[in-house]
Amino acid sequence: MLKIVIADDEEFIRRGYLSLKWEELGIEVAGAAKNGIEVLELLQEQPVDILLTDIRMPGMTGIELSKKALKLQPELIIILLTGYGEFSYAQEAVRLGIFDYILKPSTPKEIFACINRAKEQIKKKEGQQKEMELIQRELSNFAALEQANQVLSTKPEVAPEEEEMLIQMIIRYLGEHYAENVTLASLAEVTHFHTGYLSRYIKQKTGQNFLSILTGIRISHAAKLLLETDLKNYEVAERVGIADERYFGQVFKKTYGVTPSQYRKAKRKE
């Protein structure tokens, strides 16, 4: 059962949240706090999945609390409770990695809907972690640790059928982790092959270099986000792992022949 911590400095509001039927969502209330310090103490005592906190509390704001909470438990899902006057502040918080925000006053239905989205996010991350572990186990079959330390000119002894499986797993890995800071070096750590060998191997098998494949996957996902969301161009770029909006625009235009904005406008007209 997932665990949640609830934080609000107003006791009657805090009691209201505690009275909700969390068990119907498969949620256990791990604790309630009236300020950020109490929240951090709770997080130090036990693992928690979700933090539902007011954005404005005495001594420590919800934003400050969120930053400290994420240092303690990096996978923590944080949902901010905010008033209309703090709406833009909450939106900025989401850009910093906070999961979502709920405008106050809110109904149990609105809160539970957001919690359900958080549960889906947790489920997705768990699935990705299992997938990552599976890929690492599979890839480890292709090379021993000593092969990773061989010189660039040395090719590991890998059977032809295993080579075919390896390229499939590499593409699969990039498709799962394109939004992260994936590099040839990090791929080498996962596969236990030397970067030099991987670079030549990928080029030989696909006709493209590592960066071209990764960028192609990112731009493909970016095109989908442009059609399915109203995210700004820089937000789309960040979502697919490209930090530089200008570079993102250049690569996108090179791929599709138009800018991201032109692509979205044209496709939506269609």
Locate 249 and state its tokens: 């625009």
Residue range(s) of every CATH 3.40.50.2300 domain in the chain:
2-122
Distance CA 38, CA 30 (A): 12
Give the model confidence (pLDDT) of 157-171 as tens digits.
Answer: 555 556 667 888 888
Distance CA 147, CA 162 (A): 15
Query: Is-contact 134 143, C-beta < 8 A?
Result: no
Tokens 């359900």 found at: 116
Neighbours of 27 (CB within 10 A): 22
DSSP string, 23-50: GGGTEEEEEEESSHHHHHHHHHHS--SE
Asked whether the predicted pLDDT for residue 129 surpasses 80, the reply is no
Give the model confidence (pLDDT) of 37-73 as tens digits.
Answer: 999 999 999 999 999 999 888 888 888 898 899 999 9
Query: Is-contact 82 103, C-beta < 8 A?
Result: yes
Query: Is-contact 239 225, C-beta < 8 A?
Result: yes
Distance CA 102, CA 81 (A): 5
DSSP β-bridge partners for residue 33: 7
CATH code of the domain occupying 214-269: 1.10.10.60
pLDDT at 164: 67
CATH code of the domain occupying 2-122: 3.40.50.2300
The confidence band for 146, taking pLDDT boundaries of 50, 70 and 90, is very low
Give the model confidence (pLDDT) of 69-127 as tens digits.
Answer: 999 998 999 998 887 666 566 666 666 778 888 888 889 999 999 999 999 988 888 87
**How do strand 50-54 and strand 2-7 relate by DSSP bridges?**
parallel
Residues 6+ apart with CB under 8 A from 156: 142, 143, 147, 150, 193, 197
| Burial of 131: CB neighbours in 10 Å, binned 0-12, 13-18, 19+ | middle
DSSP state letter for 226: H
Tokens 């909700």 found at: 20
Residue range(s) of every CATH 1.10.10.60 domain in the chain:
214-269
Element (H, E) at 192: none
Give the model confidence (pLDDT) of 225-256 as tens digits.
Answer: 999 999 999 999 999 999 889 999 999 999 88
